[in-house]
Structure 1
Amino acid sequence: MLLQKNLHTLRKLYPTLAKRISWPVDSNHIIEKDNKIGYVLHDTPYPISLSRKKLQRFAKHAPYSKDVLLWGCGVGDILDVLLAKQNNIVLWERDPWLLRILLKRRDFGPFLRSGQLRILLGSDIVLERGNLQDYQMMGHPFFSSLYKFEKNIVLKPQAPIVFLCKGELFVSDVGNILQHRGYAVYMWDVECLSHDEVVYGALMAKPSLCVSINYRYGLAEIVERTSSKLLVWEIDPSMDRIRNVETDTKSSFIYTWRAAHIDSFRRSGFQNVKYLPLATNTKRCFPTKGTLEERDVYGCSVSFVGASLVDQGQHYRDVFLSSYAQWSGREDGSEKLQGLMREQSKDLSIFIADELLGYWFPDFSKAMEDAQVSLSSLLGEWIACLKRQSYVMALQDHDIQVWGDRGWSGVPNYRGQAGHLREVVHVYRRSIINIDINRIYQPDIVTMRVFDVIATGGFILTEYTPALDDLFDVGVEIATYTTMDDLIEKVDFYRSHPEERTRIIQAGRKRVHAEHTMEHRLTTMLSAIHEK
């Protein structure tokens, strides 16, 4: 078996590397079918094998007998060309699973033993960056952009290293700002890699700072071992209660978009916890006139862009019911839950699930008080789903257009998904009124949607929360509603008063640029760290 043969060679030459490649790793992002390999990014599979035409074009311009640093192995087709042209190659790959796929393709023993090929995995690039300055850098067409941050580690060998936890929302924005401020950013995949590899990378590279969007259990303990500092910006709801930390947290700094979470973090052992609202990236969210095609595709009177919460809500509702059935040994959970939901549905502007649980499930609620996942959190997503569906349906007579996941497919005027980085911005710009419907169980936050819409020059009608008063002059810089009926009335009013919309848009955008950009938030967080 070629994989084992190559690993045997690596064990003789680079025993630690061979062990790391063999450690457990999540492979759900890789699709292997009919001898073809696909890489799943943002729920979309992309082929990573080059066509014959592209490979011939690459071979035509590939260097001969040079020192080459290759970013990303893909399936090995580019590597084959470079080896055939007698180049000395350092191959860097962040993903151990892709390396396993590569090592199953052919026997690389002769190239490894001769030194013509050397493999670097993950954080090795930090340790080797001072030795790679004279190498010609080349990248796999797909992975070259995916590994864009790591390139800067080599290009700026003296820059301080930041480990940025790999993820979705905000991660790329934060990485770009850190890089602009002189840091070299390494994407730290704490979710897919084995715990051993996560710890190994941090201990060997010794980053000056570790940054995470949302807290991951165990991060504080890992970072404390590196003598580094941990910066966390919590921006998303979590079903789990915050677990107690098992280390000193003087070097961990937690910023949360919910002031209500400050006490929870502190009770769990975190010393440095502060409230910090969300913000926008003005380099991505800005006004433009746009093309006629954009106006035709995205232009509408009223829009909502966001998750339906259908899948999440149903999943957590089912978890609640199965937990109740297992605890009680009874089958009356569904009937009781329907009664609870009838009461909650009478007013979807106020979350009263905690009180209702005490009435409909008193003994179960008491028994589960200290559970890792709170019962009200499990029901929260389902109630939030019903609220969004109800508010959107109430605006059908106003021709509301909806972009989001397939949970909205049963709603009239469902327009499909809108990509977060580009397409969603077009919707914000081209809608006369953008609607913001917050999750019912977190009424104390200001959503990212608010800042993004305002930054694009769009008009947003958002649900009122006292947190808005600290960020905007309500009624002057932002428009709000309180109930479903109030929402409908405000939509009618602002549709027929364009001059009022324009006044609020201009005032709001001025405030966002002055105080609520990602740059402002990073300045706040980094300043606090450097003061300690």
Structure 2
Amino acid sequence: MKVLMCNWKGLGQEAVYNILLKKNYCVDRIIWQEIRGFEEDEYLENCLIEKLRMERYQFVITINYFPIISKTCERYGVKYIAWTTDSPLYTLFSKTIYNSCNYFFIFDRDSYMDLKNRGVSNVYYLPLGFDADSFSNLEITENDKEKYSCDVSFVGSLYRERTYYQYLERLPEYLKGYFEGIISAQQKIWGYNFMEELLDDSIMKELKKYISFVDSEKNYIGTEKLLFANSFLGVEVTARERERYIREAASKFLVDIYTGSDVSDIRNIRNKGYVDYLQEMPKVFRLSKINLNITLRTIKSGLPLRIWDIIGNQGFLLTNYQEEIPDFFEIDKDLVCFESEKDMMEKIDYYLKHDDERKEIIQNGYQKVMKYHRMEQRITQILELIGEN
């Protein structure tokens, strides 16, 4: 059985590749470093055409969705599997989503329901999982313990260096005030994102006097509210929340942060820069007494890969609440959630003082992930659903 995998940026690609090999598929790959356009890319299209003319593939598979790949698979009558790891994924508003070759696997239930309601065929809800094979041989040395051990850690961007919200400075005061109100209100609520709902047509009409939404009609369907709510407002909410929560944690505890963001103005933290996903990040999770997760607000209901990676690497997870967490984990038994800065601080203090309870939660979560939520199990589900198993 021969399949074709197309690799661009995205975590989880090597895991999918290795799992398919493990399942006795012969996997060809196209790997490209840059993409000239999601709808049109002559180089990628020619590579695909050459492959599809020479071989008969069971399916083509990617992490995330690429309209140019869908167009080519539709032309040659080959199944195209797209498993999302980002949310929202703007290419899911491409007019190509209705191609009959497509099989979508969506990790965020709200995004899945949106596709279903728009009449998209062959769309399935499938959460992310833990890449147990890649991390199975983790070895912790004495040097690792000295380098990565800490009370509290956070891995991720603070979005200080890349938020679109700064470009709104030229807006009239009443528009800026309206958007500030949305941001302020959203920061008070975990588990339900309502920013897009508050962008009515009159506000969007006024906004478009100052901001141009390029290519919103030619190839894409109704993305302007979604684009603004997420790229502008959602990322700004996340940036403010992450900074606020990390500042609060650092006001009492020593916090190690692994980020490319400039955090030199935050006291009592140690910024250790970027961390390698496969080689270093698992050691951070294993050797931190408490791992903080503050989910990107553009993920409406689902569980980001970070949650699976922390628990699967036997780390203690303290996270904001997401709507889908109770579907997979028992709160306060497998992981711990916070609802506010005060709640976070109390739980950090408590679990730093109660090692036995913390270690029990680590093992509960780890055993559940290994039993029910490995990436290999997810790939098996995909193959069964498309009729390949």
Q: Which TM-score band (shorter chain)?
A: 0.7 to 0.9
Please report how far the alpha carbon of residue 249 of structure 1 lies from its aligned counterpart in structure 2 after TM superposition.
3.1
CA contact 2:314–2:363 (8 Å) conserved in 1? yes
Give the alignment of 1:194-273 within 5 angstroms.
Answer: 195-206=41-52, 207-238=57-88, 240=90, 242-246=92-96, 249-266=99-116, 270-273=120-123
Which structure has the higher relative contact order (CA within 8 Å, separation 6+)? 2
**Alignment-derived partner of residue 124 in structure 2:** 274
Distance (whole Å) between structure 1 residues aligned to residue 100 and residue 191 of structure 2: 39
Structure 1 residues 381, 479: CA separation in 2 closer, same or farther (over 3 Å shift)? same
**Alignment-derived partner of residue 247 in structure 2:** 393
Please report how far the alpha carbon of residue 175 of structure 1 lies from its aligned counterpart in structure 2 after TM superposition.
1.4
Please report how far the alpha carbon of residue 462 of structure 1 lies from its aligned counterpart in structure 2 after TM superposition.
1.7
- Choose the corresponding residue for 1:382, options 219, 236, 259: 236
Distance (whole Å) between structure 1 residues aligned to residue 168 and residue 9 of structure 2: 28
Structure number with bigger Rg? 1
Please report how far the alpha carbon of residue 487 of structure 1 lies from its aligned counterpart in structure 2 after TM superposition.
1.1
CA contact 2:6–2:62 (8 Å) conserved in 1? yes
Please report how far the alpha carbon of residue 483 of structure 1 lies from its aligned counterpart in structure 2 after TM superposition.
2.0
Structure 1 residues 212, 384: CA separation in 2 closer, same or farther (over 3 Å shift)? same
Identity of aligned residues (%): 23
Alignment of 1:419 onto 2:265? no
CA contact 1:309–1:407 (8 Å) conserved in 2? no
Q: What residue identity is the alignment partner of 1:181?
A: K
Give the alignment of 1:28-177 within 5 angstroms.
Answer: 160-177=2-19
Structure 1 residues 287, 360: CA separation in 2 closer, same or farther (over 3 Å shift)? farther
Total equivalences in the alignment:
366
CA contact 1:312–1:382 (8 Å) conserved in 2? no
Q: CA RMSD in A?
A: 3.1
Alignment of 1:186 onto 2:29? yes
Structure 1 residues 198, 382: CA separation in 2 closer, same or farther (over 3 Å shift)? same
**Alignment-derived partner of residue 524 in structure 1:** 381
Structure 1 residues 220, 320: CA separation in 2 closer, same or farther (over 3 Å shift)? farther
Structure 1 residues 281, 344: CA separation in 2 closer, same or farther (over 3 Å shift)? closer
Please report how far the alpha carbon of residue 163 of structure 1 lies from its aligned counterpart in structure 2 after TM superposition.
2.7
Distance (whole Å) between structure 2 residues aligned to residue 345 and residue 251 of structure 1: 40
Distance (whole Å) between structure 2 residues aligned to residue 433 and residue 503 of structure 1: 13
Alignment of 1:308 onto 2:163? no
Q: What residue identity is the alignment partner of 1:195?
A: D
TM-score (norm 1): 0.62
Counterpart secondary structure, 2:162: helix
Distance (whole Å) between structure 1 residues aligned to residue 301 and residue 183 of structure 2: 22
Please report how far the alpha carbon of residue 348 of structure 1 lies from its aligned counterpart in structure 2 after TM superposition.
7.2
TM-score (norm 2): 0.83
Please report how far the alpha carbon of residue 248 of structure 1 lies from its aligned counterpart in structure 2 after TM superposition.
5.5
Q: Which runs of 5+ in 2 are unaligned?
A: 214-220
**Alignment-derived partner of residue 317 in structure 1:** 165
Distance (whole Å) between structure 1 residues aligned to residue 188 and residue 162 of structure 2: 22
Please report how far the alpha carbon of residue 190 of structure 1 lies from its aligned counterpart in structure 2 after TM superposition.
8.6
Distance (whole Å) between structure 1 residues aligned to residue 242 and residue 168 of structure 2: 21
Please report how far the alpha carbon of residue 495 of structure 1 lies from its aligned counterpart in structure 2 after TM superposition.
1.0
Alignment of 1:492 onto 2:342? no
Please report how far the alpha carbon of residue 387 of structure 1 lies from its aligned counterpart in structure 2 after TM superposition.
0.5
Counterpart secondary structure, 1:458: coil
Distance (whole Å) between structure 1 residues aligned to residue 280 and residue 119 of structure 2: 41
Structure 1 residues 248, 429: CA separation in 2 closer, same or farther (over 3 Å shift)? closer
| Deviation per residue, 1:54-80 (Å, 9 max, x gap) | xxxxxxxxxxxxxxxxxxxxxxxxxxx
Distance (whole Å) between structure 1 residues aligned to residue 334 and residue 94 of structure 2: 40
Please report how far the alpha carbon of residue 240 of structure 1 lies from its aligned counterpart in structure 2 after TM superposition.
3.2
Counterpart secondary structure, 1:428: helix
**Alignment-derived partner of residue 472 in structure 1:** 329
Q: What residue identity is the alignment partner of 2:257?
A: V
Distance (whole Å) between structure 1 residues aligned to residue 262 and residue 168 of structure 2: 20
Distance (whole Å) between structure 2 residues aligned to residue 345 and residue 253 of structure 1: 35
Distance (whole Å) between structure 2 residues aligned to residue 510 and residue 476 of structure 1: 12
Structure 1 residues 506, 386: CA separation in 2 closer, same or farther (over 3 Å shift)? same
| Deviation per residue, 1:124-174 (Å, 9 max, x gap) | xxxxxxxxxxxxxxxxxxxxxxxxxxxxxxxxxxx5131323223111221
Structure 1 residues 498, 165: CA separation in 2 closer, same or farther (over 3 Å shift)? same
CA contact 1:438–1:463 (8 Å) conserved in 2? yes
* Bigger mean CA offset, 204-213 vs 247-256: 247-256
Please report how far the alpha carbon of residue 189 of structure 1 lies from its aligned counterpart in structure 2 after TM superposition.
2.9
| Deviation per residue, 1:235-277 (Å, 9 max, x gap) | 1134737334348633311011111112333455530111111
**Alignment-derived partner of residue 144 in structure 2:** 294
Structure 1 residues 210, 420: CA separation in 2 closer, same or farther (over 3 Å shift)? same
CA contact 2:183–2:233 (8 Å) conserved in 1? no
Structure 1 residues 343, 453: CA separation in 2 closer, same or farther (over 3 Å shift)? closer
Please report how far the alpha carbon of residue 289 of structure 1 lies from its aligned counterpart in structure 2 after TM superposition.
6.1
CA contact 1:321–1:333 (8 Å) conserved in 2? no
Q: What residue identity is the alignment partner of 1:243?
A: F
